[in-house]
Chain A
Amino acid sequence: MFAFILRRLLTLIPMLLGVTFLVFVLMSLAPGDFLTPIKMQRDVPAELIAELEREFGLDRPWYVQYGYWLGNVLQLNLGYSWSFKVPVTDLIGSRLFATFLLSLTSLLFAWCIAIPLGVLAAIYKDSIFDRVSSFLAYAALSIPEFFLALLAVWFAAVTGLFPIGGATSIEHDFLSAGGRIADRLYHLVLPTIVLGIGGIAGLMRIMRANFLDAIRSDYVQTARAKGVPEGWVMFKHVLRNAINPLVSAFGFSFSSLLSGALIVEIVMNYPGLGTLIYHSLLREDQFVVLAAIMLSCTMLVLGNLLADICLAWSDPRIRLESRD
């Protein structure tokens, strides 16, 4: 198990090298750099710009710059964000926490709704409940996320029940520890629902299909023949066998949520990683983009690793590596 995890983590190194290299090449192909805005200000002396270019290594060819950057990363220095005027590590750190929190709550929300709905839809197949829930699932799939986000903002504005945007209130820093947590959660409610709803539909359909497959298995008949009560048959024999694909899906949704939250973050003014990447791409804030992309890759690998470990834990047939 340990060797398996280590091996997976080691594959991260060539992957990160490849991805950052590509991003570096692409960004150097694009015209301009993060100093372009100040170059266009007439009152900035040319000497200062030349000095800055030297300082950031922008006068060198891109491969030399990449080498510099790599050297800095190895010393855990991710660089400086020109547009936000803070070290990249500080910037990413605060945004990462906000996005991570939102991903986690919306994943939990989607799972907690999708699994029971999918199970019930499978048990009461072709009933009114099944039809209504699948209609709602398709409706949820077809509504674009930004529209749902707009609806949520409108709802918050009209009723005043929820904050219109942001991750914390203005007075957040003056609250007690418990108050801060409550404030965070309060701000998470609407973004969580908006992000979660899109996921529910897909997960629910997967759950329903797998559950139906498992219900038809002979071991379900065996359990009934043993005299196991019907509810227990569904829970112990069917659900445990039907849940595998959802566990694998978990890894992917985990990583995609980090980048997929962009539109919701923009509409709902949520200070997450998505908006950060977007803005820094627009401003060619190279080091922020690189750091954010490295982070996304790492999340993808970690998410899949997590899913594999969960899968091996829940299904005895799956072993991560041979026993010898």
Chain B
Amino acid sequence: MTAPATPAAAPLLEVKNLKVHYPLRGGFLKRVVDHVRAVDDVSFTVARGRTTGLVGESGSGKTTIGRALIKLAPISGGSIRYDGSELVGLSNRAFLPFRKRVQMIFQDPFNSLNPRMTIDGIIREPLDLHFPAMSRADKRDRVAALLKRVGLEPEHMHRYPHEFSGGQRQRIGIARALAVEPEFIICDEAVSALDVSVQAQIVNLLQDLQAELGLTYLFIAHDLAVVEHISDHVLVMHQGKLVESAPAEEIYREPKDAYTRRLLDAVPKLAV
């Protein structure tokens, strides 16, 4: 948060002047005429063991940031330093160790699990990739333990994704992300597609896991109420740019940017 920078409090993630531009082609020869600036010159840091919220409306570029961090979106410029190492420009092979350390939970629990694979297959796949030395029995035990940890039954491992509800699927997504023992998890609108009561369950599960495993979260959402509940620090994005960055309480108490105020006003309140 706003603690003075000491070596112990060095941020886990340091993003500087990150740019993700998509070319727009036009004209007869399909030349590049302009760029969509999905993420334009964004800099921020994420503190170790904390939750950083990233809010903004649809199309503001927050999901693109999340994807760029794990090399799923093309980076046009800037630097991403993760625990002291530069991630921008790494080859797929060189990036592989970071795929073990950084995981992502996706927005749509219905589309983010391969319908052709059993739950066991889905959770076990990252184990096969990142723990090749692990025995079959150990992997099986680990999948069972992970399912149990996220509140599902180990017997569920032989079922397919379509046999589960949205909340259960998101728990499977969390178990999958946890499988490789990551230290940093990007939650890309992880609860937006769920019912409000289920949202609360998943958010609580995420918080329990953070306390237990010392995880660092980047929590991407368009819903300020959820972000307020879970975050220590909040970043606000608007049209590809970062408009505000402040500790959570501060941003809710006295938002500085006009856009943040508009976002806050849009949160429905109970008339007392």
Q: Which residues of A does B touch, CB under 8 Å?
A: 217-219, 221-230, 237, 240-241, 314-317
Contact with A along B83-108 (1 / 0, CB 8 A): 00000000010001001100110111
Q: Is the CB of A315 within 8 A of B116?
A: yes
> Given A218-B106, A317-B162, does the pair A241, B99 have CB atoms closer than 8 Å?
no
Contacts of B103 in A (CB 8 A): 225
Q: Is the CB of B70 within 8 A of A218?
A: no
Interface centre among B72, B116, B126, B162, by most chain A C-beta atoms within 10 angstroms, is: B116
Residue of A nearest to B100 (CB): A227
CA distance A212 to B182 in the complex (A): 31
Q: Which of B108, B162, B180 contacts A218 (CB 8 A)?
A: B108
**Is B58 in contact with chain A by the CB < 8 A criterion?**
no
Residue of A nearest to B127 (CB): A226
Contacts of A217 in B (CB 8 A): 111
> Given A227-B126, A227-B129, does the pair A222, B112 have CB atoms closer than 8 Å?
yes
- Subset of 13 A-B contacts with CB under 8 Å: A218-B108, A221-B67, A222-B104, A222-B106, A222-B112, A222-B113, A225-B104, A227-B100, A227-B129, A230-B92, A237-B114, A241-B116, A316-B118
Contacts of A237 in B (CB 8 A): 114
The secondary structure that dominates the A interface is helix
> Given A219-B112, A219-B113, A219-B114, does the pair A224, B129 have CB atoms closer than 8 Å?
no
Contacts of B148 in A (CB 8 A): none
> Given A226-B129, A228-B125, does the pair A219, B99 have CB atoms closer than 8 Å?
no
Q: Which of A219, A224, A228, A315 contacts B72 (CB 8 A)?
A: A224
Q: Is the CB of B106 within 8 A of A223?
A: no
Q: Is the CB of B112 within 8 A of A218?
A: yes
Residue of A nearest to B98 (CB): A227
**Is B74 in contact with chain A by the CB < 8 A criterion?**
no
Q: Is the CB of B99 within 8 A of A221?
A: no
Contacts of A224 in B (CB 8 A): 72
CA distance A318 to B87 in the complex (A): 42
Contacts of B176 in A (CB 8 A): 222, 226
**Is B130 in contact with chain A by the CB < 8 A criterion?**
yes
